[in-house]
Amino acid sequence: MSIFGKIFDKIFHHKTAAAPAPAQPSAAPTAAPAATAPAPVDVEAVLTAMAAQKGGGGNWRTSIVDLLKMLDLDSSLDARKELGQELGVHAGADGSAEQNIALQKAVWKKLAENGGKVPASLQD
């Protein structure tokens, strides 16, 4: 499984993400199919809950290394190089702050593209 696939799996299949939404009465029978569609996963809420379980989670909002560590994934330079290749990130030298920031932004963007509710404050 790809590194991003592992990130996605850890967030989207976390028990916080899988919590059922409260039932809401539908106004008309045609609203029933829409009510059965899965709601987007609130990525920030899931990660905040995970961070609380782990005693803080470091600076996962802005540090790709801390995010990977919090998710119990490999945060080594080789893993980040691989993630950069997967996401098409070619900013700065390998392991540089510039590259790590670009990786973090690319992860947030990709999570949003795949059904994650990611606040703009994380994507900027």
Q: What's the mean pLDDT when you consider all of the chain?
A: 84
Distance in angstroms (rounded) separating the CA atoms of residues 47 and 72: 12
pTM summary value: 0.79
Question: 87: which 2 tokens?
Answer: 């996401």
Residues 66-80 have pLDDT tens digits of 999 999 999 999 999
Alpha-helical (H) ranges within 22-63 are 32-36, 43-53
Q: Which amino acid is at 69?
A: K
Q: Where are the domains of the chain?
A: 3-16+40-115
